[in-house]
Structure 1
Amino acid sequence: MHLDIRNNRISGPLPNDFGRLPMLSRALLSGNKITGHIPDSVSRIYRLADLDLSRNQVSGPIPESLGISDLNLSRNALEGNIPDVFGVRSYFTVLDLSYNRLKGPIPKSMASASYIGHLDLSYNHLCGKIPVGDPFDHLEASSFVYNDCLCGKPLKACGY
């Protein structure tokens, strides 16, 4: 149910069949040398509520099907856009995508999530207007700093 192998020297990619652990509820894998993509099979772990892959060397895109309440993918080499797949069933106590190579806009659908408690998108290559509404109204500038060209509250106004 709980896999805690934080701060070891585990290297290599996550197995493609990582999703064949149906009872797994927490996967704490931060502080290792894990490489490669996040396997799509992770989204099939029905009970998974906490996935921490921070401080690794994970690359590639964020799978569109990841909807975990605590999702920490910070300090990796993730690329591409943040998937525009949020909706009323999206509930995140923590969503940390900071210190990656993500680009493009913040998905407008993120504003339709039922709850996002802590959001950190800092230190990426995001660009465009920060959406308005919940959860963005209660976030501070530190959630968005050091991106290529984000603008809007709580950062500087957009100059379009």
Structure 2
Amino acid sequence: MISALQLTVSDYIIFFAAIIGAMIVGLIAGRKEETSEDYFLAGKKLRWFAVAGSIFGSNVSANHMVGMMGVGFSIGFAQSHFEIGAIAGLLFLCYGFLPVYRKLNLYTLSEYLGKRYDDRSRVSYAIIMIIIMAFVQMVPALYIGSRTI
């Protein structure tokens, strides 16, 4: 009998098929991109629901899938208030920052920092975000997710 926590051959096949499939789709779709505007903004050709799906897909990460589901399992419905609070943040982002980005024809926050200050601010921002992702988000997500197993 196979243990519930042991991966089987079919698990590995599905995992690697998903990774290879995503790579193939990315390579095929990436052939059409010629400029940074094509890469970051899809040539400004997407409709609103595609942009909303992209924002949602960017927001949902392993932190959500593992950590928050683990907390939700542990403490219940109260965990959903974290996501409800994100609505205000996303609205502020759309109505506060987005007009500035569009006016200056910017694609990323690091590009804004580079234009507003200098290239050192871009590098500092990248280093700070790597530290935040590694220690502030990933470690708690993995710990909380492991508590439910």
TM range (shorter): under 0.3
- Computing the radius of gyration from Cα coordinates, the structure with the larger value is 2
Of Structure 1 and Structure 2, the greater helix share is in: 2
Q: What TM-score, normalized to structure 1?
A: 0.21
Q: What TM-score, normalized to structure 2?
A: 0.22
